[in-house]
């Protein structure tokens, strides 16, 4: 039986702007809870940019330049529901 279900294992997210229902700290915690990581700037290693209201223009431009997928809060929840599970057994 699995100890942890890490759907976001190996994924890196950048959150920009104000989200509809979650505070920034809640989004960071949710992503980490499911095995992902968050960073403050977009790079070639960024898997997704979570875009809220009034996102940082430089982050959006960089994501567009790099071809990084941009999703909104609903898109984050959709990923959580649909990505395969990486099962980590406790030691």
Q: What pLDDT score does 5 carry?
A: 66
Distance in angstroms (rounded) separating the CA atoms of residues 8 and 10: 6
What is the chain's mean pLDDT, rounded?
A: 89
72 pLDDT more than 80: yes
Q: What pLDDT score does 3 carry?
A: 47
Distance in angstroms (rounded) separating the CA atoms of residues 10 and 79: 14
pTM: 0.87
Q: What pLDDT score does 83 carry?
A: 81
- Alpha helix segments (H runs only) across the chain: 24-33, 57-66, 73-82
Say if residues 45 and 68 touch (Cβ distance below 8 Å). no
């Amino acid at each position: 039986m699995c100890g942890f279900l890490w759907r976001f294992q190996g994924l890196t997210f950048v959150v920009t702007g104000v989200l509809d229902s979650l505070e920034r700290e809640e989004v960071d915690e949710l992503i980490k809870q499911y095995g992902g990581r968050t960073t403050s700037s977009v790079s070639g290693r960024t898997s997704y940019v979570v875009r809220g209201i009034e996102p940082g223009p430089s982050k959006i431009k960089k994501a567009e330049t790099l071809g990084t997928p941009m999703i909104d809060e609903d898109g984050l929840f959709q990923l959580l529901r649909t990505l395969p599970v990486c099962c980590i057994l406790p030691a």
